[in-house]
Amino acid sequence: MYITFFGATREVTGSMFMVVAGSDHILLDCGLFQGRRRESTEKNRVLPFDPAILSTAILSHAHIDHSGRLPLLIKKGFTGRIISTRATEAACRYLLPDSAHIQESDAAYLNYKLVRSVLSERRKSPGAKSLSRRTLEQIKKLLKKDPYELDQEAIADFIQTFHLEAVEPLYTAADAQETLGFFDGYPYRNPVTVGNGATCVFYDAGHILGSAMSLIRVCKKGKTQTLLYTGDIGRFGKPVIKDPCLCFEDQDRQIDLMVMESTYGNRVHEHIDDMKDQLRGVLLKTFERGGTVLIPAFAFGRTQTLLYMLHQIYDEKRVPRVPVFVDSPLAVNLTHVFGQHLEAYDRETHRLFLEKGVNPFEFKQMHFVSSVEESMELNRRPGPMIVISASGMCESGRILHHLRHKIHNPDNTILLVGYSAQNTLGRRIEELGLAYEENGRKGEPPVVRFLNKEYPLKARVVKIGGFSAHADKKEMLRFLKTSNLRIKHIALVHGEEEQSLPLAGILQKEGYSVFVPKLGETLQV
């Protein structure tokens, strides 16, 4: 058995690994790379193998950095099955079409910029350095139906007229919809045939609803080999869903190779028990200023954890119960998915809410925002209030427009509750904003650029690390030491080098055989 590492090697996004056993080619995850637009687009468009050779794709969980290239896989010739847990399948029915919408919107905007640039050059007078404002507005009117909607037909006509090379989306909504027909959802601890003599069993990873560790067993010529892919490992004791599995079936305990995430391999999170008090403190300070708490949050997992905790805080009457707006149609749909999988909830959630007939994610002051008009109205609404909006890394979605209206006001707070990969807007806000806070907010505020404009980062930036859905180095050690697994070798993936390499050193000192693969590297199990 061999495994080749095609993504999330010494970086966090783009999870994709291929297991080869005899004639079987099994893909573990097929995620999007995220970061600098041009660099990530180039990476995402290329699959380093022919999808037609694959017998099965196994999906650890629904987050886009693990699932986001599945429609491209289908588009390029994959004909097998996509195996996942049932909750992951349900979540992908919303996440993949949403990803397709982003791909199409990004391509449409880039084509608009291309045509606008060509028209601007053609209308520029000889020797002129720039166009008049009036001419620019005339060009925009040619390419837009209204201030917020592009005229796709007009843009396509200009591209054809000028013989331009149009930007094509990575995949379309139709591609995403077709992909959903390839899914087979299964319960945990249920062996599934994934190849000739190969089976897969899912164990709870405790990361998000439906997340799974995938145990691959291959029996060839009387010899059995096992590989455990952890996907993303969750934290112990966090709200809502169950902890990572520590007790594996007897026949699944012997692991020849564990492929384990290392997102926070050199970090220790704030204690989970402190999260609620830290959140309450941020809310009180911001509300006293009359400001808005703006929270970029992943629509799946993080948003629901925040609602659960805000519900508790409001029930305890520990803060002024100002309005809470969830401005993400995707988050609305995914919250309904949570409501369909009560079997995944931990005992505390059952005790505090479900046994009382109460929905953990809905309360009187909470409002779901669906339409664009409602979202725009929030930007004109004075604080105090709480706005939770996607995306968590601030790379796309409605959060960008909320940032545009809130980032310049020191009364507001941008509350960061999740991981942002390198070269994302979320990471820039985190690094620049926290440095400005640590310096006592002295001097000119830092400047961040997004939506083709520069904005002064005057809003307060606060990060609460305890909300992370990824285990830190202590929790990963706890998983390794207290589970009943016997592990021969460990390959660390899904972590930037400053996280994965130190974790490798720590594990080696603990007696584990560990290595950190590079992109494209192949390992014989």
Do residues 344 and 310 make contact, with C-beta atoms less than 8 angstroms apart? no
Position 406 scores a pLDDT of 96
Per-residue confidence at 370, pLDDT binned at 50, 70, 90? confident
pLDDT at residue 451 is higher than 90:
no
- Non-local CB neighbours of 426 within 8 Å, separated by 6+ positions: 296, 392, 393, 394, 395, 416, 418, 420
pLDDT at residue 391 is higher than 90:
no
Chain-wide mean pLDDT for the chain? 94
Position 383 scores a pLDDT of 86
Segment 94-113 mean pLDDT: 93
Position 270 scores a pLDDT of 87
Fold assignment, 2-96+172-267+469-524: Metallo-beta-lactamase; Chain A (3.60.15)
Per-residue confidence at 165, pLDDT binned at 50, 70, 90? very high
Of 132 and 427, more confident: 427
pLDDT at residue 27 is higher than 90:
yes
Of 454 and 124, more confident: 454
Alpha-carbon span 235 to 241, nearest angstrom: 10
Q: What is the pLDDT of residues 312-334, one digit of tens each?
A: 999 999 899 999 999 999 999 99
Provide, rounded to the nearest whole percent, the portion of the chain with pLDDT above 70.
Answer: 100
Position 439 scores a pLDDT of 94
pLDDT at residue 352 is higher than 80:
yes
Q: What is the pLDDT of residues 235-273, one digit of tens each?
A: 999 999 999 999 999 999 999 999 999 999 999 998 888
pLDDT at residue 128 is higher than 90:
no
Do residues 455 and 400 make contact, with C-beta atoms less than 8 angstroms apart? no
Alpha-carbon span 57 to 315, nearest angstrom: 44
Domain with CATH 3.60.15.10 in the chain: 2-96+172-267+469-524
Position 493 scores a pLDDT of 98
How long is the chain?
525
Do residues 57 and 70 make contact, with C-beta atoms less than 8 angstroms apart? yes
Do residues 141 and 97 make contact, with C-beta atoms less than 8 angstroms apart? no
Position 129 scores a pLDDT of 74
| Spatial CA neighbour of 195 closest among 25, 29, 18, 50 | 25
Per-residue confidence at 295, pLDDT binned at 50, 70, 90? very high
Tokens of 50: 């022919």
Alpha-carbon span 220 to 111, nearest angstrom: 51
Of 446 and 129, more confident: 446
DSSP string, 116-172: HHHHHHHHSPTT-SS--HHHHHHHHHHHEEETTEE-HHHHHHHHHHTT--PPPPSS-
Segment 466-489 mean pLDDT: 96
Per-residue confidence at 41, pLDDT binned at 50, 70, 90? confident
Segment 465-481 mean pLDDT: 94
Task: Compute CA 386 distance to the chain's CA centroid, rounded to the nearest angstrom.
Answer: 21
Segment 18-23 mean pLDDT: 94
Cα 349 to Cα 59, 237, 507, distances in angstroms: 26, 12, 34
**Class of the CATH-defined domain 272-467:** alpha beta
Domain with CATH 3.40.50.10890 in the chain: 272-467
pLDDT at residue 465 is higher than 90:
no
Do residues 252 and 226 make contact, with C-beta atoms less than 8 angstroms apart? yes
**Cα first-last separation, the chain:** 5
Tokens of 507: 């594990």
Angle between helices 473-482 and 497-509 (to 10 degrees): 40
The pTM of this model reads 0.90
Position 520 scores a pLDDT of 96
Report the DSSP beta bridge partners of residue 21.
Answer: 24
Segment 502-523 mean pLDDT: 97
Position 80 scores a pLDDT of 96
Position 133 scores a pLDDT of 84
Q: Helix, strand, or coil here: 259?
A: strand
Segment 408-419 mean pLDDT: 94
Angle between helices 329-339 and 86-123 (to 10 degrees): 170
Position 221 scores a pLDDT of 83
